[in-house]
Amino acid sequence: MKSLAIVGLQFGDEGKGKLTDTFAANFDLVIRYQGGNNAGHTVYAHGKKYVLHLLPSGIIHAHTINVMGNGMVIDLDALEKELEPFHIHQLRISDRAHIITPLHRYLDAQAEGNASQKIGTTLKGIGPAYQLKAGRIGLRMSSLMNVDRFKFELKQLYDFYGFNEDVEAYVQRLTPFIQRLRPAIVDVGSLLEAAKEKGQSMLFEGAQGMMLDLDHGTYPFVTSSHPSPTSAAIDLGIPQGWISRTLGVVKAYTTRVGEGPFPTEYDNEVSQSIRERAHEYGATTGRPRRIGHLDLVMLKQALRVAGVTELAVTLFDILSGVEPLKICTHYRFQEKEIMTVPAHADDLKQVTPVYQTFSSWQEDLSTIRTYEALPKAAKAYLRFIETTLKRPIRFISVGPQREQLIEVSHD
């Protein structure tokens, strides 16, 4: 079976949506396995801009079936709005995926309002949804098969939290949408098994990025799911081993939205110019993204955890004219040079990045379509990443449009 997973290796927003949409042309199924509408995946197609939050980024191609796994957390209001321009017959949603309600959004806002808990979430109710799931009191999509049952379970949950919103009005408003959604709610593991038997190809799309992983990211400044495709087995109900290739997406520099340690961050006229040229503002919340140099220490860890077999470097066009151009190769921590990410956020805040400086280039890369045509200095920057990370760079993205992509041949 042809399969490929796409995973962000930094703090999200690496350009996963653009790549997933571009590659979806050659896949039958596009499958999101975790996260919710905290994600914002930007796709340009047919002269239009789409920002996808819950829907897999294959939905723009009419031939694809787009699957949302049990590892996802789904806000029904958000899904209804997002589905408007698309066809519901292209969508399949796991009957085991969890539902985000106004209560979840309220709990998220409560935690963010408390100085000791604030981490700068997207306020979409993501953390509470995974908390309630692990606490075994969450609501799942299967509850929607019977509106009375859904109402009863929702009332129980609201009562448990003393949350006084009107359940009747909420369910009544959503009922027409729930009825439309029902045929799409399926056992995703069985669906994928049948698709595999038919020889259909599968593109797996991770949301967020490896440094936001609940276990392996910069805890507690992380999201509450596992962006790694190694968790796709649990998040979809399929055996390990179905994913033969994992493409790690690396933005040519680093960005982060929300709070938390960020060793290579800098804020000056260079980072501000990057922010404006690349429009580095959150696709979900509009917050300005923090900017930093590329960090190979974090990338090295991310590659291992995510099982990355090859790389795509994105937003490479943005580095033209960036000076000084630096890559972090190590951290200095407690008088030692280290190549691993300290587990405690306070320790990670204390590290000093050790940099290698590279020659910059001025040429516009956005119309380049072959590796050979790249400036010499640009190739040196890429070669250093490839040799240090020991993974081939297969794709270089030089703009937001589908065609702004260089495929690198490694023959």
For binding to ligand IMO (CB under 6 A), which residues are involved? 8, 11-13, 38-41, 119-122, 124, 126-127, 207-209, 212, 223-224, 257-258, 283
Please give the Cα distance from 74 to 40 (Å, whole number). Answer: 14
Residues 6+ apart with CB under 8 A from 26: 201
Q: Are 177 and 76 in contact (CB under 8 A)?
A: yes
Indicate the residue among 127 and 150 with the shorter CB distance to ligand IMO.
Answer: 127
Distance of CA 343 to the CA centre of its chain: 22
Distance of CA 269 to the CA centre of its chain: 28
Please give the Cα distance from 405 to 411 (Å, whole number). Answer: 18
Q: Which is catalytic among the residues 21, 28, 41, 317?
A: 41
Quote the least distance from Cβ 120 to ligand IMO, whole Å.
5
What number of chain residues touch ligand GDP (CB under 6 A)?
22
How many CA atoms within 13 Å lie on the side-chain side of 227?
31
Indicate the residue among 54 and 178 with the shorter CB distance to ligand IMO.
Answer: 54
Q: Are 22 and 402 in contact (CB under 8 A)?
A: yes
Residues 6+ apart with CB under 8 A from 96: 70, 140, 141, 142, 187, 188, 237
- Two tokens, residue 348: 């990670």
Name the closest residue to ligand IMO (Cβ): 258
Confirm whether 411 is a catalytic residue.
Answer: no
Quote the least distance from Cβ 377 to ligand IMO, whole Å.
29
Indicate the residue among 45 and 111 with the shorter CB distance to ligand IMO.
Answer: 111
Quote the least distance from Cβ 208 to ligand GDP, whole Å.
8
How many CA atoms within 13 Å lie on the side-chain side of 98?
27
What does the buried/exposed string (b/e) look like for 65-78 if buried means 16 or more CB atoms within 10 Å of the residue's CB? Answer: bbbbbbbbbbbbbb
Report the 10 Å Cβ neighbour count for 156.
12
Q: Exactly one of 9, 11, 13, 101 binds Mg ion (CB under 5 A); which one? A: 13
Quote the least distance from Cβ 278 to ligand GDP, whole Å.
5
Indicate the residue among 83 and 257 with the shorter CB distance to ligand IMO.
Answer: 257
Quote the least distance from Cβ 383 to ligand IMO, whole Å.
27
Q: Name the strand (E) or helix (H) holding 325.
A: strand 325-333
Please give the Cα distance from 267 to 344 (Å, whole number). Answer: 24
Quote the least distance from Cβ 370 to ligand IMO, whole Å.
29
Quote the least distance from Cβ 178 to ligand GDP, whole Å.
28
Indicate the residue among 22 and 218 with the shorter CB distance to ligand GDP.
Answer: 22
Q: Interface mask (CB under 5 A) for Mg ion, residues 66-95, using x and -? A: ------------------------------
Q: Long-range contact list for 156-159, CB < 8 A, 24+ apart?
A: 157/101, 157/103, 157/132, 158/103
Q: Name the strand (E) or helix (H) holding 256.
A: strand 254-256
Indicate the residue among 181 and 283 with the shorter CB distance to ligand IMO.
Answer: 283
Residues of this chain, 274-303, that bind Mg ion according to CB under 5 A: 283
Residue 144 binds what, of ligand IMO, Mg ion, ligand GDP, none (CB under 5 to 8 Å, by partner type)?
none
Q: Exactly one of 10, 42, 90, 122 binds ligand GDP (CB under 6 A); which one? A: 42
Residue 314 binds what, of ligand IMO, ligand GDP, Mg ion, none (CB under 5 to 8 Å, by partner type)?
ligand GDP
Q: Give the residue among 401, 410, 260 at the shortest CA–CA distance from 344.
A: 260
Q: Exactly one of 5, 7, 17, 59 binds ligand GDP (CB under 6 A); which one? A: 17
Question: Is residue 398 within the footprint of ligand GDP (CB under 6 A)?
Answer: yes
Question: Is residue 290 within the footprint of ligand GDP (CB under 6 A)?
Answer: no
DSSP SS3 for 304: helix
Confirm whether 13 is a catalytic residue.
Answer: yes
Residues of this chain, 21-40, that bind ligand GDP according to CB under 6 A: 40
DSSP SS3 for 45: strand
Indicate the residue among 278 and 303 with the shorter CB distance to ligand GDP.
Answer: 278
Q: Which residues are catalytic?
A: 13, 41
Which residues in this chain contact ligand GDP in the complex, by CB under 6 A?
8, 12-18, 40-42, 278-279, 283, 314-315, 317-318, 397-400
Which residues in this chain contact Mg ion in the complex, by CB under 5 A?
13, 40, 283
